[in-house]
Amino acid sequence: MRIFTTEDLLQYLYNEASPKKSAAIKAALETDWSLREAFELMVSGQKQLEEVNLSPREDVLKRILDYADKAVSQLHPH
């Protein structure tokens, strides 16, 4: 029986594994319950990451826009 690494499972999860490796992992997942459990944890983590909503703080956006406005003003004085 082949041992699959965390990296192998991640490649499989994100459809980045070769067709041969994907087929081997899929077959192993059907019979190796510890591998299946590790994979299910990855799937769960992937779903949680997709739900994370990241956005910058308002003060950061304001500073960026102020900086851009100042830079444009210097390039094109009134």
Q: Please say if the pLDDT value at position 64 is more than 70.
A: yes
**pTM: predicted TM-score of the whole model, two decimal places:** 0.64
In a domain, 70, yes or no: yes
State the residue range of the domain holding 11.
Answer: 6-75
- What pLDDT sits at residue 78? 63
In a domain, 37, yes or no: yes
Question: Total domain count for the chain?
Answer: 1
In a domain, 68, yes or no: yes
Give 1-40 pLDDT, tens digit per residue: 689 999 999 999 999 999 999 999 999 999 999 999 999 9
In a domain, 63, yes or no: yes
In a domain, 1, yes or no: no
Using an 8 Å Cβ cutoff, are 43 and 13 in contact? yes
- What pLDDT sits at residue 2? 84
In a domain, 16, yes or no: yes
pLDDT band at 50; cut points 50, 70, 90: confident
Backbone torsion region of residue 2, taken as left when φ is above 0, otherwise alpha when ψ lies between -120 and 50, otherwise beta: beta
